[in-house]
Amino acid sequence: MEIVVSGIRPTGNLHLGNYFGALKNFVQMQEQNNCYFFIADYHSLTTHPKSENLHENVKNVLVQYLAAGLDPEKSTLYVQSDVPEIPELYLLLNMIAYLGELERCTSFKDKVRKHSNNVNAGLLTYPTLMAVDILIHRAAKVPVGKDQQQHLEMTRDFAARFNRLYNVDYFPLPTAFNFGEELVKIPGLDGSGKMGKSEGNAIYLTEDPASIRKKVMKALTDSGPTEPNSEKPEVIQNLFTMLSVVSSLDTYQFFDDAYNNCSIRYGDLKKQLAEDIIAFTAPFREKAAELLKDEQYISRAARLGAEKARASAAQTIKNAREIIGIKHL
Ligand code: TYM
């Protein structure tokens, strides 16, 4: 049984990118692994230090984990800030994380460009905290989307450095995991690359049908292919990528053939895509609304998760202190 860890920042509701990049795999992994899935609320403070909705968002993400089929008995579902051992390991690991490598991290450089008025130390050490999330349970596999690849490389660097420095073989070197397939990147439908909350192009799992239709119908397209079997430009490929995850194979094939023989009508494709997204998200939307009413179940799940996560984390902290040579007088 392998140890698996992954998390999602509670900066809002979960979107289709979160689902297909991460959550879908969480659900599949919980059957055969020792899984720790958490809500990365400390991470969200790096960009949203004053989030008025933080508590609400944490609760919503937990509900959405449960609505997607995560089982608090099978997996350990917890909130990052419920585990005080995490900040302790974060402090210890920061001692062996170098300024240069943290500054070179793509997501840090990106944030500096976009939010030059809030380049805080938490943002710089985001990759150390993420490494801690994984190493605190000594996980081997981390189901994430493609955008997290570099963070995983850094996690391996930190783990290897710790092992080398203290001459131990304590931390495993974890890898990003997607059942043997390439890591996923779900595109936005506005031609801006990745679907994301901060990109402002997300379609949420709990979004209502009218709003989904509106967003999909607004998706960018072009004037259509003029040569049979031509390569799809990025905005069109993005629509097909969405079809490939939410629609049937037949539907995908129908529009792919239409594209290849230049008879495609993008309006029809978008209508079909919107309906398929609505059908795909409907059970999730209903389940989340139902669960949200059950405060007791939510807090019981969070308490159980915190207990299990702390037991595992405490063991790692005990070992890490011993390895480093921290002792009580
Ligand atoms: P976050 O909160 O941005 O996203 C959560 C998960 O969703 C995936 N994801 C996507 N996958 C494919 N296509 C997309 N458009 C897309 N958008 C988001 C992300 O890859 C991620 O798996 N740093 C992490 C949170 C984190 C974490 C961890 C993850 C903190 N500690 C430890 C794993 C292990 C983040 O910001 O993800």
Query: Which candidate, 89, 13, 2, 4, places its Cα nearest to that of 38?
Result: 4
Please name each of the domains of the chain with its CATH number: 3-184+295-324 (3.40.50.620), 209-289 (1.10.240.10)
Q: Quick check: 1 and 34 in contact, CB under 8 A?
A: yes
For ligand 1, atom 31, the nearest C-alpha belongs to 130
Ligand 1 lining (C-beta closer than 6 Å): 5-9, 17-18, 21-22, 40, 43, 130, 133-134, 142, 144-145, 147-148, 151, 184-186, 194-196
pTM score: 0.97
Sign of CA dihedral 11, 14, 16, 21: positive
Contacts of 188-191 with CB under 8 Å at 24 or more apart are: 188/238, 189/215, 189/216, 189/218, 189/219, 189/220, 189/238, 189/239, 189/242, 190/218, 190/219, 190/220, 191/220, 191/234, 191/235, 191/238
As a whole number of angstroms, the distance between CA 238 and CA 178 comes to 20
CA of 257 to the centre of ligand 1 (A): 34
Q: Quick check: 149 and 183 in contact, CB under 8 A?
A: yes
pLDDT number for residue 39 = 98
Atom of ligand 1 nearest to the CA of 147: 20
Tokens of 3: 């140890």
* Predicted confidence (pLDDT) at residue 192 exceeds the cutoff of 90: no
The pLDDT tens digits of the residues spanning 246-304 come to: 999 999 999 999 999 999 999 999 999 999 999 999 999 999 999 999 999 999 999 99
- Neighbouring C-beta atoms of residue 311, cutoff 10 Å: 11
pLDDT number for residue 43 = 97
* Predicted confidence (pLDDT) at residue 241 exceeds the cutoff of 80: yes
For a ligand 1 pocket test, name from 144, 146, 156 the mutation site with the most ligand atoms within 8 angstroms of its C-beta.
144
The pLDDT tens digits of the residues spanning 194-227 come to: 999 888 899 999 999 999 999 999 999 999 999 9
Catalytic residue among 24, 59, 111, 270: 111
Question: Mean of the pLDDT values across residues 36-58?
Answer: 94
- What's the mean per-residue pLDDT of the chain? 96
How far, CA to CA in Å, does 192 sit from each of 9, 68, 108, 122, 175? 21, 27, 19, 27, 28
For ligand 1, atom 7, the nearest C-alpha belongs to 18
The pLDDT tens digits of the residues spanning 93-146 come to: 999 999 999 999 999 999 999 989 999 999 999 999 999 999 999 999 999 999
Q: How far apart are the first and last CA of the chain?
A: 38
In the chain, % of residues over pLDDT 90: 95
- Is 79 in a helix, a strand, or coil? strand
Largest Cα–Cα separation, the chain? 79
pLDDT number for residue 195 = 96
Banded model confidence at residue 52, pLDDT cuts 50, 70, 90? confident
